[in-house]
Amino acid sequence: MQLQKLVRNVYPNLTPYTCQLADLPIEDLKKVLNKDKVYKLSFNESPLGPSSKVIEAMQKSLLELNLYPDSTGEELKEEISRMEGIDKSQLLLSNGADDLIVLLAQTFLELEDEVIIPQITFVQYLASTHLMGAKPVFAPMKPDLSIDLKAILERITEKTKLIFLCNPNNPTGTIIPDSEIEAFLQEVPSNVLVIIDEAYHEYADSEEYSSSVKYVDKGFPVFVVRTFSKIYSLAAVRIGYGIGDARVVDAIHHVRPPFNVNAVAQAGALAALRDQEHVEQAIALNQKGKTQLYELFTEVGWKYINTNGNFIFVDMGRDSQEIFDSLAERGIIVRTLTGYGLEHSLRVSIGDEEGIHAFIQAIKEII
């Protein structure tokens, strides 16, 4: 068999999901590190887990595993539409936000189209651009490592189709001030779609942050991506959603596989939305952990960026791999950022009290 002749031309640009230490499931980490207890602070997972109401709803849905799910998830869409003040036609569900990022690329990108991506941001924008054989155009960050909208505007050409913004941004935790977004959207040509990934929306606490959902009804070419994987603690079942112009939503429906969002996930997401008390709890836990980590970083003299997510970007002024390895020896896994050319920084997820305590103790031992 000649695999080279079978695969698409874009194949050399694609990479399988890496399975470095930071990406391994907890059980595998325990084996590799030979530890009974490991703290995985590399995935931005919720340390709280779903509420009992969510688990109950999902258990109930298991009794109907023989049935196909509702293809468009009407009941869940109704709840989201009500919460977000949008029409159901402006909303579609997806098999996680990652799935939606791929669907957007498949719906809109032709070979050679250009996609503008900030230099330091979530990696799936680049992966789906490569998947379609489109051309990534990187925009540099501001000196404070936040997203530079001016640099993005300067890179728009006749070939630009999509612009990816992550707000709050993973891995820096920075936000784009709301006042900058509207001015930016006014400058973007109407044949370009601006995708705003709000995976960490619920965690954002900067006064200058605001969701971009409102720009959909104002007629701007924006498409907002959200997920149930982070604050809602449902990463395992894969469910997210997108909000945009009804015509954009309809275009994605032309491409989407009919049953991409499973019934268990739909049931869990609906129950999760209806349990906002649990969301408040998750925010409070994150807030507390954030404060403890800021104190640690201040104490040891490491520069961190104020975060609007459930993770912190920290610049240690020294080789990040060394710190990563020393933490791993102690059963703590964080994320290095060398893929972005950042040799001195780490991204640390804000874990539960036990995880944060273990991290703080470990850092004090290491330095």
Ligand X SMILES: *Cc1c(COP(=O)(O)O)cnc(C)c1O
Give the binding site for ligand X (CB under 6 A). Answer: 44, 96-98, 122, 166, 170, 197, 199, 227, 229, 235, 240
Please identify which residue in the block is written with the tokens 């994320």: 335
Answer yes or no: are the C-beta atoms of 139 and 152 closer than 8 Å.
Answer: yes
In the complex, the smallest distance separating the C-beta of residue 239 from ligand X, rounded to whole angstroms, is 7
In the complex, the smallest distance separating the C-beta of residue 122 from ligand X, rounded to whole angstroms, is 4
Q: Quick one: which of 316, 330, 351 has its CA closest to 34?
A: 330
In the complex, the smallest distance separating the C-beta of residue 264 from ligand X, rounded to whole angstroms, is 15
Nearest to ligand X of 24, 33 (CB atom): 24
In the numeric block, which tokens belong to residue 254?
């032309």
Nearest to ligand X of 61, 310 (CB atom): 310
Nearest to ligand X of 108, 228 (CB atom): 228
Nearest to ligand X of 289, 331 (CB atom): 289
Dihedral sign computed on CA atoms, order 46, 170, 238, 273: positive
Nearest to ligand X of 86, 234 (CB atom): 234
In the complex, the smallest distance separating the C-beta of residue 167 from ligand X, rounded to whole angstroms, is 9
In the complex, the smallest distance separating the C-beta of residue 102 from ligand X, rounded to whole angstroms, is 10
Nearest to ligand X of 97, 362 (CB atom): 97
In the complex, the smallest distance separating the C-beta of residue 227 from ligand X, rounded to whole angstroms, is 3
Answer yes or no: are the C-beta atoms of 47 and 285 closer than 8 Å.
Answer: yes
Nearest to ligand X of 90, 167 (CB atom): 167
In the complex, the smallest distance separating the C-beta of residue 42 from ligand X, rounded to whole angstroms, is 12
- Strands 335-337 and 342-349 turn out to be antiparallel
Give the Cα separation of 313 and 235 in Å (integer).
22
In the complex, the smallest distance separating the C-beta of residue 95 from ligand X, rounded to whole angstroms, is 8
Nearest to ligand X of 204, 362 (CB atom): 204
Q: Quick one: which of 120, 130, 180 has its CA closest to 150?
A: 180
- Strands 240-244 and 303-304 turn out to be unpaired
Answer yes or no: are the C-beta atoms of 332 and 41 closer than 8 Å.
Answer: yes
Give the Cα separation of 143 and 210 in Å (integer).
22
In the complex, the smallest distance separating the C-beta of residue 62 from ligand X, rounded to whole angstroms, is 21
For residue 9, the 8-state DSSP code is T
**Residue 79: exposure state from Cβ atoms within 10 A (0-12, 13-18, ≥19):** middle
Beta pairing partners, 348: 312
Q: What share of the chain is helix, strand, coil (3-state, %, to 5)?
A: 45, 15, 40
In the numeric block, which tokens belong to residue 292?
């403890």
Dihedral sign computed on CA atoms, order 245, 250, 252, 258: positive
CB closest to ligand X, residue no: 96
Nearest to ligand X of 151, 235 (CB atom): 235
